[in-house]
Amino acid sequence: MLSIAAAVAVAQLVASAVGGGYWFDEVYMLAIGRHHLDWGSADQPPIVPALAALMDRVAPGSIIALRLPAVVATAAAVVVAALIARELGGDRRAQALTDGAQATALWITLAGHWLTPYTVEPVQWLVLVWLLVRWIRVRDDRLLAVLGLLVGVAAETKFQVLLLCAVLAVAVLALGPRELLGRPLLWLGAGIAALIAAPTLIWQAVHGWPQLQMGAVVASEADALYGGRTGVALTLVLVPGI
């Protein structure tokens, strides 16, 4: 799995070097990080803008340096996908197949070197799922506290992780293991997540929840970029790849 992850990292670094200028969302992250860094913004939590500002401070104007966190996240996601397969009982062949699926997903191949929330997010979701699946197998409640820590960090990257948590909670209620919901460390983890996410949620509340107002803006972007909801639906079918 490490060799496939290394190949992905090299490919994404090459794409960073030869792929032209900044992706427009990267310019947005840089603008927030350089000039408007705060606990929140109209539609972004602070982690990726802060990363953009940090990399720009370390190597001013270097597009390759800016993209290093995204490349690391994309390569790490390949490893974590294989770890999930292993937790589910997959042998080396199953792990390699899962590795390959993650490594060759069309959207990951295209966007895996852009420093944006949606390139840092996949590895966070995968680690979250890995922790949950591993807990189901080994019942080590310490994993639940770590899971809460990760949810908080992911929420400071992109709020959509809260939807993932809601879906997982419904799945546990419907299908089990329901004993998960009675574990004290799960609720400790939830408290940790809430504590980490609190500064951005407070920022949003103080500023009138601009994140909620961005729905209409994003919908209009979908109309312009993808041809509306139908185009988005077709894109979602195509971008996972083989």
Token pair 């953009």 in the structure block, residue? 52
Collect the ranges in the chain with pLDDT lower than 50: none
Token pair 């709020």 in the structure block, residue? 159
Q: Whole-angstrom Cα distance, residue 138 to residue 157?
A: 29
What's the pTM value of the predicted model, to 2 decimals?
0.91
- Whole-number pLDDT of residue 212: 87
Give the residue among 180, 183, 126, 179 at the shortest CA–CA distance from 154. Answer: 126
- Whole-number pLDDT of residue 234: 87
- Asked if 177 and 135 touch (Cβ cutoff 8 Å), the reply is no
Angle between helices 117-138 and 142-155 (to 10 degrees): 170
- Whole-number pLDDT of residue 89: 95
Q: Whole-angstrom Cα distance, residue 111 to residue 114?
A: 6
- Whole-number pLDDT of residue 173: 95
Give the residue among 75, 71, 68 at the shortest CA–CA distance from 3. Answer: 75
Q: Whole-angstrom Cα distance, residue 102 to residue 124?
A: 14
Q: What is the pLDDT of residues 81-96, one digit of tens each?
A: 999 999 999 999 999 9
